[in-house]
Structure 1
């Protein structure tokens, strides 16, 4: 079921672009909700879980910090696509290989701890992927890439997280170092979700709709854990 949900989340986001063409404001609200949900799951579920499984608290903290640094490096290549900040070009250029590789690595890594962390993490990633898929599909359309390239990119992206789930369950290395890997992914999620939530709005004005989306994401996590 986890494989289907992860793939379907990307396909759903892409289909929404072609069917209803969500506005920029709607996408930002979806990102705010998904960021709040992802951050809440990370703090309320993943953090307690990873610390409960070890007495090496400092080591866990170090891996979390490494995860934050790794995500910072990946974003220098993906241009912030993980949190909806991808820059749309009006004219087609060479295939964005660095964007493709960095996003696939990110998607693969976030699938690794799902087998050990259960449905809470799975749904957080599913919710996160929908607006990201909307942003990616919009990017490819506006950059005038062919439908074939767009399809290949999105399908590859859709299968990366399921691949992470599969290898995280079957490969001994990932099961032996499950706590360390989860700590790394916690760092990744903290980086992405906080950027989504705490980015400045225009003229630093209070955005009520975004605030409501964030509160809804937090409350949904609290009442479903």
Structure 2
């Protein structure tokens, strides 16, 4: 029986900004950089800010400077950057509603946010749309200092939430993430398009079966405290 949901945000609750919008192109254009090169640089550097190793503003500052979009000693306009980011965000209201309705029908479920995102931008989206409040625990990459699809990400999230793999449904839009979760014995739901979650969430929770023997749950951790 499913007792815990590990829920992604980008591609599930929101659009994927780096892949689905022109946010990075807007940044490149503002600073006169080559669009494709800058986009590749951000995607390659994303684990630095997603893991909390560096603030996202620091990463963009360095990448813009390295792309010669700034004069010596120049600074990225971080207020503009944050506005451009939020202007590109689109919340999937039907999926917010589906999670809330599931919670009403299954108050015993533990809902956990397991997102790869910069802490700063995750908080900006929460201020605008309030997704943190839907979850019992936050195990996003910046909270546990690991990035999906690393095996250690799921191991730490399971420990922190005192969950077992077989009783945890992983909801994500990326097949690489779902394969990693499945290898640990976790049932999965692939949200290939935004409408999949609202259409299949209840049945997935009801019908989910582990793909292989699960890993035993382990001791508690502080990584999943609710904010």
Higher strand share: 2
**TM-score normalized with structure 2 length:** 0.31
Higher RCO by CA contacts (8 Å cutoff, separation 6 or greater):
1
TM-score w.r.t. the length of structure 1 is 0.32
> Which one has the bigger helix percentage?
1
